[in-house]
Amino acid sequence: MVISQLIFYTLAAFTLISSLFVVFSKNPIYSVLWLIVCFFTIAGHFVMLNAQFLAVVHIIVYSGAIMVLFLFTVMLLNLNKETEPHKPTLLKFGAVIAGGALFLIVIAAMRSGMPAPYVAPQMSEVGYVKNIGMKLYKDYTLPFEVASILFLSAMIGSVVLAKKERS
Amino acid sequence: MTQTIIQTSNLYLPTILIPLLPLLGFFINALFGKKLGHASGWIATAVLFGAFACSLFLFLNLPTGGSETITISNWFYFKNIFIPFAFLIDPLSITMLLVITGIGSLIHLYSIGYMHHDEGFSRFFSYLNLFIFFMLLLVMGNNYLIMFIGWEGVGLCSYLLIGFWFKNQAFNDAAKKAFIMNRIGDLGFIIGMFMMLFYFNSLNFDVVTIGALKLGMGNMTIIYITLFLFVGVMGKSAQLPLYTWLPDAMAGPTPVSALIHAATMVTAGIYMIARSNVLFSLAPHTLDVILIVGTATSLFAAVIGLKQNDIKKVLAYSTVSQLGLMFAALGMGAYESGMFHVVTHAFFKALLFLGAGSVIHAMGGEQDMRNMGGLGKFIKITFATFLIGTVAISGIPPFAGFFSKDEILATAFEHNKVIWGLLSFSSMLTAFYMFRLVYLTFSSSFRGTDEVKHHIHESPATMTMPLIILAACAIIAGFIGLPTIISHTHLFKNYLASVFAQSKLIMPAGHEMSHSMEWILVGTAVTLALVSIAFAYQKYVMQKHVPAADENVKGISKVVANKFYVDEIYNTVFVKPIMLLSDLFLVVVDKLIVDLLVHAIAFITNQIGRALRLLQTGHVGFYMFAMVISMIILLAVQIFVVI
Amino acid sequence: MLTLILLLIPLIASILVLFLKGESVKWFSFFATIVQLIFTFYVYSVFQNKEAAKSLLAINIEWISSPKINFNIALDGMSLLMVFLSNLLMPLIVLAGFNRTQERSHIFYSLVLLMHFALIGVFVSFDGFLYYIFWELALIPIYFISLNWGGVNRSTVTLKFFIYTLAGSLLMLFGFLFLYWNTNLHSLSWFDLTVNHICSCKQGFIFWMFFIAYAIKIPLIPFHTWQPDTYSTAPTQGTMLLSGIMLKMGLYSLLRWLLPIIPNGVAEYTPIAIALCVIGVVYASVIAIMQTDIKKLFAYSSIAHVGLIAAGIFALNMQGIQGGLVQMLAHGINVVGVFYCADIIINRTGNSNINSLGGIRLLAPRFATYFIIIVLGSVALPLTNSFIGEFMLLFGIFEYNSWAAIMAGLTIILGAVYMLRMYQKVMLGDLNENVTVFEDLKWNEELVLATIAILIFVFGIFPKPILELVEPIATEIFKISFVK
Amino acid sequence: MENTIQAVPQNWYLLLSTFMFCIGVMGVLLRRNAIIILMCIELMLNAVNLLLVSFSSYAGNAEGQVFVFFIMVVAAAEVAVGLALLVSIYRNIASTDIDILSKMKW
Amino acid sequence: MNTLIYTACLGLFGLLAEIFNLRKYLIPIMVLGLAVIFSLNLQTWNHPETHFNGMLTDSNFSTAFSGLAIFIMLIILILAGDFYTSSDDEKHISDYMAILVFTLCGALMMFSYANMAMLFLGIETLSISLYVMAGSRRFEVKSNEAGFKYFLMGSFASAFLLFGIALIFGVTGTFSIDGIGVYMRAHADQLDPLFIVGMLLMIFAMLFKVSAAPFHFWAPDVYEGAPSLITALMSTLVKIAAFAAFYKLLSVCFVFALGKAEIILTVSCAATLLIGNLVALTQDNFKRLLAYSGISHAGYMLLAIISLQGSTDSALFLYSAGYAVASLAAFAIAITVFKATGTESISGFNGLGKKNPMLAAGLSMAMLSLAGIPPFAGFFGKYFIFSEAMRNGYQNLVFLAIISSIIGVFYYMKVIVAMYSKPANEFEVKPTFSYQLVIIVCILLSIIIGVFPGLFTKLL
């Protein structure tokens, strides 16, 4: 019990710290790296929540694909230095306050409705590949197929946009 | 109330012919005038003689004291109010008809000569015919609305005729002034009619009379009605304070002045009061007002008349003064006397105007008496007839004016000594300035240029004939109304008795005046007239006094010569402020307040748009910031304020 | 069915005319309007036969089921009067343009005929929504006519006009929507609305929604500022349409869609309405006195006249209503006449300032004659068409309040002042140096003016048929509005 | 491991993911570098993922986890397109500062 | 269901066309294909069905809106032929066509979704395609900027949508909209706060998608920067799809919970009306003007959303149709004029009334329809929406809408005034055949809908 709680708190702390670093790092490269850290911690959460398959996919997709893409871009555009001009302090405060306020408001709104800590089913098997596969390929066939259209569109789009040619 | 029965009376045809003939004449002249040339004048005159014949027929065939209503059509109606197009033929209207058609046809005849060289010859006659048509409608209608048609119609014709020589803007101004002043009165008339409609549901004379009788003596409603009607009368009959248009109206051709501004139109007011005598009798306060206004006008105009040098202006003020006298008579309830004076005045004033016209004709258009003198030798017929007219107006027996004026003065003496005094004084002044006119014009030697002197000639027969006829009438017309001291049968009074019978019942009859008293009054009046004539003779014939040139007039004389500056006062008090108001409304209210408000709304809207537009900074960071902030606020409000 | 044909003739003509070119455009439009006029007389003859009229004149078919909107057109005395007025004026308006050249005249006449269609539609609609459609529809052609063929400064002026009137009508739309959902029948049929009144507590609100719309259209002060500019900027035929027929839409609507539908609201606010109207009468008359632009002068005079009509209608009595109806006809004819005269003058001299005109009568006596007749008609001289109407209106106002009548009656005096002043300056006197040549009337101009002059007298001397035509409907409106 | 569900109340996950989401929002508002903003959006999406998985696991409902797949798909697609756009912009203005992109305003 | 599949196939065909060198015939074939799909789509009329285990439902609502969307895309494709004429465009034409058709796929999903996943994917398919299309003029900074702004804000908003979906899933345990609807009905009087927050976050996201204030900021910039044809697409298809999805979402999932969102919706509606119309007053760029006008139209359509308890779908559809045809006509004319004058400013229209009266007349009618003046379709749309809102007791909002309509007329008229009363510029305008066709068809449709609005009122 205590161990799993401990793991949770540690992971949660890491998650938050890393995401804060993502936001506050001056150098984009650091941000990317902190984001990768953050993704790993989230994958850890997934494992904690019996969603092992998802955790794996998460690491592959995010850390493996998306973050590589980010890194590529940062490198490609040669952004690995602190070129970013700073916003006025007032706006910075504003942004922080806005983020905080949003958090407070949402939390306050949800406060009374939080599901009471309850004992979940002894054995949660939903995260197993079998279950997810069943869901995905049985009920969610259409979205699955449609996602390919989305991908196709995004793919062509990216090619069209990023092609380097000038007539 | 709806009379749709086809009239079988033998009076039907002549009655409708009376207005139709002039109307026909109008159409012929208006449509084919150019082609007809001078024949149009004869046509116009002929139709009037026809109308006169018809009027005579009516006069002869209407039983004494009888009256006949001739309904042409049920003109229109609304709610429960029916307005028929109908004519009322009774002694009062016949009297007026005879005067209008009779004098009218003479003046038409005269105009043929007078207007001979004018390029608007046929137009002139079409207007004259149209005028007669409206005047006839005015006196023949059996309800106030028909009367009002005539009332406004004559105003229109007066406008057209005063401004007959439309190239001259001063004449046009005079015409416009006449029309507008009349319209001021007309508003009063209309309001009076509304009150009648409101209280009696009808405008027919008989219905209104019955209704008024039901309301009884001194009822406020009737007082208001009569006061409003009197406002109308003031405009039409040129009483204080709406008289200023009449002297200006002399801008029109002289026959017009004779016909419209002396004999007929301006007496419409008297006719109207006589027609509604019962109403007025029921409203003693109104009568008092009329008496005061009439007396004041009479005196005021007479005073101004003293200092006028334009031959027509003198006559115009004399007309105003005489009208005032008539109103004084009406104001004392002596309707017959008023009417009587209308008739006699019509003759001698028409005569005077036509004579003046003849003089002007002879002088080649010159109207200023200071440039005349000694004309008696050149134009004898004119001089003779003019003199008759002057004597008549001055009240020298046995000319027509004496009888009618004496009657009024006698009534006034009975009624109120002060009024009598004032009216007598006014008569005296009349005699003075009329003889001043005669002396300045006809006696002593010619003061004008030689060129004019050679031009002087007697007028053609078409002009002298009417003069002679009118002069004859001016002599004898008085005999239809001999005073009681001479004869016990007052023909005129008896003829109209049926019309005023009702009023006589209402009004407290004055006690019969003793004969000796009457003789004294007659004597006084005649003496006063003779004295003033003598005074005029002394001043203008003996001393050969010629009025000074305008710029040399000083002091009170100047004030009088300038008509007490009434026009100027009106100009400052009414006209200028309205013009100022007009500009004020346009510039300040319309453009500045109302329009600015409209534009301000548009402007403010636009400015808000401009301000809001600045939110769209183009910075995507700001956009997202704004989104989040508004999201937070909306969430907070939605969740915490309401739930 | 007949009503529908009446409605369709101008519409079809307006489409057909687009395919024509040159002079044939005018002739065709004239022909169409004359056909329409003749047909109107036929419809009138049917109307006289009460039994046949019911089945022949009314159409009521469902157009939209929810919210319920019926294509409900019919003719009653009041509609017929207005239709008659439009159809009478339309040939004159078309004819007036015969000796004028316009660019793209086929579009111009198409718009004119489209406007005609919309106007007829307004007058025959008995469903509030349908009425509203036509009301708005009428605005579009006149806007484009003014915008395309107008004078100086036309874009701002017409835009103001458009937005102003549209603002009013949108408020009216709101009023209609409000009425629809707040009456229990859920219908905008005139027949339903007149029987089934909305609760008195809400009538005051609706009154303002409608009143502002109509006050802008009529126009009453203080909603009038669009009008003088628009009248003087629009091409004359446009001005004739606007002043002759279009502003009658507002007055007609007072009688059709205001009085019988929200009688209590009207009764509640009638003092304010009358005050506005009467003040408007005096105010506009006084302004007209000093106007130097001839078209603006007529525009202000028109404000005064319609103010009087509106005041009479708001006096809420029989003679006021009836007089208002009669006067609408009269004013329509007269105002078209005066604006046409103004156009003839401006067209020939290129000048609209009355101070730099003068002596035209010397050169064009026939024109002068027609002009004075029309002027006299508009100052309501007895035996001209506007006298009876004005008389009844003033009496109506008098019955409501005698002081108001005296104030409104000032129009009799002031009207004469500004009209005669204008006539004197423009037509009389000696020739002004700006006016050296002035051709007398052309055949089409003479035809138009003669027709107007004849109409002025015919309706002035024989007012009874018109009064009888409108009497039943006036009685009905009166009854509906005042039997509580 | 399976016991996490019993040991940690779900509220914590809710709190955690909300907090993370808000950090993402804050980052978006705070930064001017487009790439970092993109990453912050990824952060927000991951917060959602976490929430969905936690709900899914606690309720024993696999749908939540399936949905996470779609979010990943979309995230990937978005990143691809976004970075492509970014590259194309960078070629034109040689910057990834979003505040320079304000040619169109008002 | 079939519609979606066919459309996807058509998109794939577009991609393949490049390979088979069919570039020349591409657009005609695509148009033809869409026409066929349009007619096939009608088959589902009155055959409500659910497909793919509750992922997709065909209903009259979805059929009607799908038909409209297909029609819009058809028009856009017809216009595309003469729009993409530069050599750079020529090269990518099949890509563009495919992406456009995929956009339509996204829209179709948004009409017929029955599961949050489908909604989300539909929105994203639509959006991602549009990010690309908006930025497709990649050598123009404006286009870049438009694409990137749209992208950034769009994905930001998507995140909120997802958070909302997640919360609702947490409470209801399902992504099926019917399932959520069942929960909502069962707990209507005592809704879990999580559910409410989720709902509100979703509403925020949808308000963003429909460009309602205060989430409208992206719209003007993106509309201005995007290629005109894409602007036309965004202001018609995208807006309508977003509204349809919004409507469906609220009416199925949240109808009884809307009391908890009333303030947000009302404020947003009012703000949208005012901001859209007021700011539009000050615009000189025609596309930007239409963007603000689009925002104000969103306000009117939000009125239909707010009063959806009274099932205002017919009114919404009528409004959408009227708005779409008028906008398309306006854009078709505007694109022609832009090409001729080389400027997108309103002053580019100066003197069009003389230069080309037919174009000017067409644009005038389009503007009048957008301004909501009878007898054009725009008026009836407005009328029905106002009427429905009034019925549901939103008098004040209707009044505000009326006021803002008055303001709105002003800027529409500005264009008309420019065309008719300003001196003409030096240019020659001659629309190509396809543009003429589109203009005539759209204007005629606008009038036909205006004359027979009854066809639509009981449609759904």
- Dump pLDDT digits (tens) for C7-63: 899 999 999 998 888 888 889 999 999 999 999 999 888 888 777 667 777 888 888
CA–CA separation, B300 and B39 (whole Å): 43
Chain A: closest CA distance from residue D48 (Å): 11
pLDDT of residue D99: 79
Nearest to C125 by CA among C113, C140, C114, C136: C136
Count of domains for chain E: 1
pLDDT at residue C478 above 60?
yes
**Which of B610, B622, B631, B641 is most worth mutating to test chain E (most E CB atoms within 10 A of its CB)?**
B631
Domain boundary among A82, A104, A136: A82
% of chain C at pLDDT higher than 70: 99
- Dump pLDDT digits (tens) for B456-471: 777 788 888 888 888 8
DSSP C105-146: HHHHHHHHHHHHHHHHHHHHB-BHHHHHHHHHHTHHHHHHHH
What averages of pLDDT result for each successive group of 10 residues across chain D (106 residues)?
66 90 92 88 93 87 89 92 89 81 79
% of chain D at pLDDT higher than 70: 94
CA–CA separation, E365 and E374 (whole Å): 10
Nearest to B121 by CA among B255, B20, B312: B255
pLDDT of residue B88: 86
pLDDT at residue A116 above 60?
no
Nearest to E102 by CA among E84, E128, E72, E82: E128
Confidence of residue B378 (pLDDT cuts 50, 70, 90): confident
pLDDT of residue B511: 64
pLDDT at residue B13 above 50?
yes
Nearest to C390 by CA among A56, B183, B383, B19: B183
pLDDT of residue E165: 94
In this structure, what token pair is assigned to residue C249? 């839409």
CA–CA separation, B292 and E248 (whole Å): 89
- The residue of chain C nearest to residue E351, with distances taken between CA atoms, is C148
Please count the residue pairs, one from chain B and one from chain E, whose beta carbons lie less than 8 angstroms apart.
73
Domain range enclosing A76: 1-82
Question: What is the pLDDT averaged over residues E277-289?
Answer: 91
Amino acid code (one letter) for E425: N
- Dump pLDDT digits (tens) for B287-322: 888 888 989 998 888 888 888 888 888 888 888 888
pLDDT at residue C336 above 70?
yes
Helix (H, G, I), strand (E, B) or coil at C187: coil
Ordered by start, the domain boundaries in chain B are 17-561, 568-642
Chain D: closest CA distance from residue E437 (Å): 33
pLDDT at residue B528 above 60?
yes
Chains E and C contact (Cβ–Cβ under 8 Å for 3 or more pairs): yes
- CB contact, 8 Å: B628 with chain A? yes
pLDDT at residue A122 above 80?
no
Sorted by sequence, the CB contacts under 8 Å of residue B502 that are 6+ apart come out as B209, B213, B277, B278, B281
pLDDT of residue D93: 84
Chain B residues in contact with D28 (beta carbon < 8 A) = 624
- CB contact, 8 Å: B609 with chain D? no
pLDDT at residue C177 above 80?
yes
SS3 content of chain A, % helix, strand, coil (to 5): 75, 0, 25
Question: What is the pLDDT averaged over residues C153-177?
Answer: 89
- CB contact, 8 Å: E441 with chain A? no
Give E 193-252 residues with CB within 8 A of chain A: 193-197
Nearest to B404 by CA among B238, B244, B232, B270: B270
- CB contact, 8 Å: A123 with chain D? yes
pLDDT at residue E6 above 80?
yes
CA–CA separation, B501 and B65 (whole Å): 10
In this structure, what token pair is assigned to residue B73? 């059509």
Do A5 and A76 lie in one domain? The reply is yes
pLDDT at residue E368 above 60?
yes
| Partner-chain residue, chosen from C225, C398, C428, that has the shortest CB–CB distance to B172 | C428
Confidence of residue B2 (pLDDT cuts 50, 70, 90): very low
pLDDT of residue A40: 92
pLDDT at residue E292 above 90?
yes
Q: If you ran DSSP here, which 8-state letter would residue B465 be given?
A: H
Question: What is the pLDDT averaged over residues C137-159?
Answer: 88
Chains A and C contact (Cβ–Cβ under 8 Å for 3 or more pairs): no
pLDDT of residue B5: 45
Q: Is the dihedral of CA B605, B606, B607, B609 positive or negative?
A: positive
- The residue of chain B nearest to residue C384, with distances taken between CA atoms, is B149
pLDDT at residue A120 above 70?
no
Cα D83 to Cα D9, E98, E107, distances in angstroms: 38, 21, 24
Do A142 and A76 lie in one domain? The reply is no
Q: What is the helix (H) or strand (E) element at residue E171, kind and residue range?
A: helix E141-172
pLDDT at residue E329 above 90?
yes
Asked if E422 and C136 come within 8 Å (Cβ–Cβ), the reply is no
pLDDT at residue B346 above 70?
yes
Other CB atoms within 10 Å distance of the CB of residue C458:
14
- Dump pLDDT digits (tens) for C349-399: 888 888 888 888 888 888 888 999 999 998 888 888 888 888 889 999 998
As a whole number, the mean pLDDT across chain C is 87
pLDDT at residue E43 above 90?
no
- Dump pLDDT digits (tens) for E385-443: 998 898 888 989 999 999 999 999 889 988 898 888 888 777 788 888 999 999 999 99
In this structure, what token pair is assigned to residue B438? 């005669």
pLDDT of residue E113: 93
Q: Which fold has domain D4-95?
A: Helix Hairpins (1.10.287)
Domain range enclosing E162: 2-457
Give E 123-162 residues with CB within 8 A of chain A: 124-125, 128-129, 131-133, 135-136, 138-139, 147
Asked if A23 and D42 come within 8 Å (Cβ–Cβ), the reply is no
CA–CA separation, A62 and A46 (whole Å): 14
Count of domains for chain A: 2
Asked if E99 and A166 come within 8 Å (Cβ–Cβ), the reply is no
- pTM for the complete prediction? 0.90
% of chain B at pLDDT higher than 90: 3
Of B342-346, B496-500, C2-6, C224-228, where does mean pLDDT reach its minimum?
A: B496-500
Helix (H, G, I), strand (E, B) or coil at B591: helix
Q: Which residues of E touch D (CB under 8 A)?
A: 116-117, 120-121, 124, 128, 131-132, 135, 138-139, 141-142, 144-149, 151-152, 155-156, 158-159, 162-163, 165-167, 169-170, 173-175, 220-221, 224-225, 282, 288
Chains with 3 or more CB pairs closer than 8 angstroms to E? A, B, C, D
Q: Cα A13 to the chain's mean position, in Å? A: 15
Do A78 and A16 lie in one domain? The reply is yes
Other CB atoms within 10 Å distance of the CB of residue E47:
10
Asked if E152 and B642 come within 8 Å (Cβ–Cβ), the reply is no
In this structure, what token pair is assigned to residue E280? 């539009």
Q: If you ran DSSP here, which 8-state letter would residue C428 be given?
A: S
pLDDT of residue A80: 65
pLDDT of residue A82: 62
**Which of A53, A103, A138 is most worth mutating to test chain D (most D CB atoms within 10 A of its CB)?**
A103
End-to-end CA, chain E: 18
Do A66 and A141 lie in one domain? The reply is no
Chains with 3 or more CB pairs closer than 8 angstroms to D? A, B, E
- Dump pLDDT digits (tens) for B63-93: 777 788 888 888 888 878 888 888 888 888 8
pLDDT of residue A117: 47
| Partner-chain residue, chosen from D37, D70, D91, that has the shortest CB–CB distance to E121 | D70
pLDDT of residue A165: 66
pLDDT of residue B124: 87
Question: What is the pLDDT averaged over residues E170-193?
Answer: 89
Chain C residues in contact with B145 (beta carbon < 8 A) = 382, 391
